[in-house]
Amino acid sequence: MSYSIPAPINSPQRILMGPGPSDTHPRVLAALARPTVGHLDPYFLQIMDELQTMLRAVFQTSNALTLAVSGTGSLGMEACVVNLIEPGDRMLVCVNGVFGGRMSDVAARAGAQVSTLERDYGEVFGAEEIAEAVRRLHPKVVGIVHAETSTGAWQPLQEIAEVVHAGDALLLVDCVTSLAGAPVEVDGWGLDAVYSGTQKCLSCPPGLAPVTFSQRAVEAIDRRQSKIASWYLDMTMVRNYWGESRAYHHTAPINSNYGLHEALRLVLEEGLEHRFSRHRRNHEALKAGLKALGIEYSVAEGLQLPMLNSVWVPKGIDDVALRSQLLNDYGIEIGGGLGPVKGRTLRIGLMGEASTARNVLLFLAALERCLLDQGLRLDCGAGVAAANAKYRNGE
């Protein structure tokens, strides 16, 4: 059998302004290339301890069971669900986008009796409607998405945690897109199980899923009457690898953890409040520029994520052709809509390292050209001018 050897990898330079992954800092890329050591090497065990400390700082928690699951954000979702859910347990999942729907699917596969509370794409849930559902259904776990990547909707959590706990349930939260880009206060808000991913606002390549479990959640795991459905995700064993006993569980992705270590260092060097302000500032400038081009958000004012901007495709514009031109002519990647808004919305990411004034202004200029090429009549330069006005005024 004959074969040819492919050319070496020479990936193109992109500006990643889609729903993820985001741009990676050169320091993170350099960390990924450091020499690999063993998964029980004393040096790597030190890295694991430091990762836990930094993850607690970013999650704003003192939870002992805080670590990085060896897998992407979706595996973080499965880790939280399969550890908290036993076959027959009731789980209420709030679905207002693709990832709420995915959580419902994962829970059903884990054997939960799943009920869903549903909202249209782009909407969020109120505390009272969740409280009513909790009183009626008596779930063990309530699952909700903090930052719905498919719609750009930002879900308030503080009051929801209170009503969930009043019903003696645990609150499981998807913070894949929000962590390190907007406040996530695990202890302050009373969140019980939270998962994220490295490739969004942490600006680390995909491959790890930060998770954290409250003491209430850990106690629920320890009270289980049945084995956790996934051996790989069983926190009763994984925590022993990350804890003092260092009991072997699996071979961790060493270099991926190096990358996350450096990404977390960058987050903490910048400071959480400064980082949140940066995301907000660039979001507001982008929004001003888009408004000047006649482009409207698909999410109501006050509920728009600063790191994931979902907007309506202008009438008469082919969104596939638009995104292709942005990628091929300008090296800019953005995302299209999902589910019922496929073909109707654009998703523009300003996540982590990609959240810069440079990217905002470059994107608006390139977008204007693409819209003009499809025949849309515009006030030339209006988008960039409006964004610059926001930056000049310090808004």
Distance CA 292, CA 167 (A): 47
Instruction: Kindly report, residue by residue over 207-260, the tens digit of the pLDDT.
Output: 999 999 999 999 999 999 999 999 999 999 999 999 989 999 999 999 999 999
The CATH number linked to 32 is: 3.40.640.10
Helix (H, G, I), strand (E, B) or coil at 179: strand
356: in domain: yes
Contacting residues for 11 by C-beta, under 8 A, at least 6 apart: none
Distance CA 33, CA 112 (A): 42
Of 252, 268, 284, which residue constitutes the final position of a domain? Answer: 268
Res 394: pLDDT: 75
Helix (H, G, I), strand (E, B) or coil at 218: helix
Looking at the structure, do residues 249 and 276 belong to the same domain, yes or no? no
Looking at the structure, do residues 226 and 353 belong to the same domain, yes or no? no
Of 218, 247, 268, which residue constitutes the final position of a domain? Answer: 268
List strand residue ranges (DSSP E) for 269-344, in order: 308-312, 332-333, 335-336
Confidence of residue 1 (pLDDT cuts 50, 70, 90): confident
Number of domains in the chain: 2
The continuous run of DSSP H or E covering 216 comes out as: helix 215-222
Distance CA 17, CA 362 (A): 11
**Averaged confidence pLDDT in the chain:** 97
Res 121: pLDDT: 93
The continuous run of DSSP H or E covering 249 comes out as: none
Q: What percent of the chain has pLDDT over 70?
A: 100
Of 217, 238, 268, which residue constitutes the final position of a domain? Answer: 268
Looking at the structure, do residues 304 and 245 belong to the same domain, yes or no? no
21: in domain: no
Distance CA 266, CA 53 (A): 14
Whether 393 shows a pLDDT value over 80: the answer reads: yes
Distance CA 229, CA 173 (A): 20
18: in domain: no
- Model pTM? 0.96
Instruction: Kindly report, residue by residue over 73-117, the tens digit of the pLDDT.
Output: 999 999 999 999 999 999 999 999 999 999 999 999 999 999 999
Looking at the structure, do residues 220 and 147 belong to the same domain, yes or no? yes
Confidence of residue 202 (pLDDT cuts 50, 70, 90): very high
Average pLDDT over residues 366-380: 95
Looking at the structure, do residues 130 and 212 belong to the same domain, yes or no? yes
6: in domain: no
Res 253: pLDDT: 97
Looking at the structure, do residues 324 and 255 belong to the same domain, yes or no? no
Question: What residue numbers bound the domain in which 123 lies?
Answer: 26-268
Whether 46 shows a pLDDT value over 70: the answer reads: yes
Residue 381 Ramachandran class (φ > 0 left, ψ -120 to 50 alpha, else beta): left
Q: Which string of DSSP letters, residue by residue, matches 79-147? A: HHHHHH--TT-EEEEEESSHHHHHHHHHHHHTT-EEEEEE--TT----HHHHHHHHHHH--SEEEEESE
Looking at the structure, do residues 131 and 160 belong to the same domain, yes or no? yes
46: in domain: yes
Looking at the structure, do residues 309 and 327 belong to the same domain, yes or no? yes
Whether 395 shows a pLDDT value over 80: the answer reads: no
Looking at the structure, do residues 219 and 163 belong to the same domain, yes or no? yes
The CATH number linked to 376 is: 3.90.1150.10
Residue 225: burial class (beta carbons within 10 Å; 0-12, 13-18, 19+): exposed
Give the DSSP letter of residue 375.
T
Looking at the structure, do residues 292 and 198 belong to the same domain, yes or no? no
Instruction: Kindly report, residue by residue over 117-173, the tens digit of the pLDDT.
Output: 999 999 999 999 999 999 999 999 999 999 999 999 999 998 999 999 999 999 999
Looking at the structure, do residues 248 and 305 belong to the same domain, yes or no? no
Looking at the structure, do residues 236 and 129 belong to the same domain, yes or no? yes
Buried b (16+ CB within 10 A) or exposed e, 149-160: bbbbbbbebeeb
17: in domain: no
5: in domain: no
308: in domain: yes
Q: Which string of DSSP letters, residue by residue, matches 33-67? A: TSPP--TT-HHHHHHHHHHHHHHHHHHT---SEEE
Instruction: Kindly report, residue by residue over 327-343, the tens digit of the pLDDT.
Output: 999 999 999 999 999 99
Distance CA 161, CA 332 (A): 38
The answer to whether 171 and 142 have CB atoms below 8 angstroms apart is: yes
